[in-house]
Structure 1
């Protein structure tokens, strides 16, 4: 084994450690969130009515966990895609990845705050939750941007990296997130109705979804989910056998 081969093996091993560490953080965050869902103590000898009440109190936490699980899963899926194009890493990439993982690590706090304070006249927990989601989106955008700027050095297929990572739509995060935070600050300073703040959050999410669909319409069936492609392949194989 020559020196170059040894360096390549070392580089691949270190990059794999970065990916495994990131996956571990995601797994721990999801585990911490589910630990928030537990029935109160002292129900062993409680009657059915009290158990039912305790269970109903737990439903908002379950809803918050379910939504957060899906959102964290989406961020993990995007993170997996980002790192699938890497062939090398730098210290700055590691730092940006840690910043992104820090933003993701705030999810347990966000879920707890939202589910414990959410009510008809108290939606600030929901606003904080949206703010943390947007912070995650912003840090992931910064990570993607760094890869695009240094694609020749860090990525395989550097010419296609913008298309593969949907940069045309994701770059709007640089505008959308600061604009959202500015509107929230204005709403709080002017003591606006909290419903206006939640409406702003909804409009933000819908706008980004429309922009993404505009630049990157739904992929063709051939590029759909792996299970769908598997079933299509089996169906085509069956049709080919029947034709014979």
Structure 2
């Protein structure tokens, strides 16, 4: 029996909903895995009173790392939600770019475990942990930028509200990430290879936010009303 146009649309909507639900499930699992790691070790029950503050300090550092990572993951999720709000259809390319993005974001629990596993700020393992953590952020940002690029490039086929997608997603400002993120990634590798302090990597990664904010003000200035 031939499938009618209405049935085809219903099937398409159902399949697109599965893509979105799968993405949301990955984000939920990431947050859950990160918070599960925040707990005192079993041997803490037998510690002396003088050792307990040290264990709670370790727990506090894990909590702070979780809070920062939760904010970053939530920011990626909110951006993902905005991107997918334009979709009316999907294709293989979109699914592949979305999976690449989800793979990058799913590495956050691993990265968090690295930076909370050592308290010696100048130790090699801490430096590696911070650089890998920054690498996960850069990978997530890069893959999400590629996902946005693919949607904007194929907006006539995949998206509704085609005339406004570039402005709402602020693509003119965001497209610099296609070149800036790989450059910063190479800098992080350079700093890690020569065992330089992770603060250099942090400053380099922060540069992306500064450049993006500056370009947003240039390309998308806020229009002041008379009431302002």
Range of TM-score over shorter length: 0.7 to 0.9
TM-score (norm 2): 0.87
Counterparts of 1:1-244 in structure 2, within 5 Å, are: 3-44=4-45, 46-117=47-118, 119-122=120-123, 123-217=127-221
Q: Which protein is bigger by CA-based radius of gyration?
A: 1
State the 1:195 CA deviation.
3.6
* Residue deviations 1:16-73 (CA, integer Å, cap 9, x gap): 1110110000000100001111101133454544333211111111111000001000
Give me the whole-angstrom Cα distance separating, in 2, the residues matched to 1:167 and 1:173. 10
Greater mean deviation of Cα atoms: 53-62 or 5-14: 53-62
Q: Classify 1:191/1:29 alpha carbon distance in 2 versus 1 (closer, same or farther; 3 Å).
A: closer
State the 1:213 CA deviation.
3.7
Give me the whole-angstrom Cα distance separating, in 1, the residues matched to 2:214 and 2:194. 30
Give me the whole-angstrom Cα distance separating, in 1, the residues matched to 2:6 and 2:169. 29
TM-score (norm 1): 0.82
Q: Which runs of 5+ in 2 are unaligned?
A: none
Q: Classify 1:193/1:32 alpha carbon distance in 2 versus 1 (closer, same or farther; 3 Å).
A: closer
**Bigger proportion of residues as helix:** 1
State the 1:135 CA deviation.
0.5
Number of aligned positions between the proteins: 220
Higher RCO (CA-CA < 8 Å; seq separation 6+): 2
Greater mean deviation of Cα atoms: 129-138 or 181-190: 181-190
Q: Which runs of 5+ in 1 are unaligned?
A: 222-244
Report if aligned partners of 2:130, 2:198 keep a CA contact under 8 Å in 1: no
